[in-house]
Amino acid sequence: MVKVFYFSGDSVCGRLRTVLYDGIHFVRLASSQAFTYLGDRFPQMNIGDPPAAVIEILPDTQQSGWRTGFYLAAQPPLQFEETLRAVRD
C-alpha cells in the first residue's frame, strides 16, 4: 500500500490525497516520476515552502528497490495529479 500526500505551502501538515492499494499503479507511478527518499518519519514542511507531493511506502508494500518511508516527488502537486490520474486509468 502506498499513501499520497500533498503539501500546499501554506501549512506545515500534508493532506492525504489517495491510497494506492494495487501494486501495478505504484509501478506505473514510480516509472513515470523521480522521487527522493526523505526518511522514515512524516516530513515537516515550513510555511512558505513550495507545494509538494509526498508518497509513503508502508512496510507491507513489497516493491523491490524501495525502502519503507517517505519520498518527495520531483513534480509539484498539480503535475503529479495528472500523472497519478494517468496511472490509474
Neighbours of 28 (CB within 10 A): 18
Up-side HSE of residue 12: CA atoms within 13 Å toward CB?
A: 2
Q: What is the average per-residue pLDDT within 60-75?
A: 85
Report pLDDT for 61: 73
Q: What is the pLDDT of residues 8-55, one digit of tens each?
A: 877 777 899 999 887 788 888 888 889 999 999 999 888 888 999 999
Predicted pLDDT of residue 37: 95
pLDDT at residue 89 greater than cutoff 80: no
The whole-model pTM stands at 0.88
The reported pLDDT for the residue numbered 70 is 95
> Structural domain boundaries of the chain?
2-88
What residue type is assigned to position 4 of the chain?
V
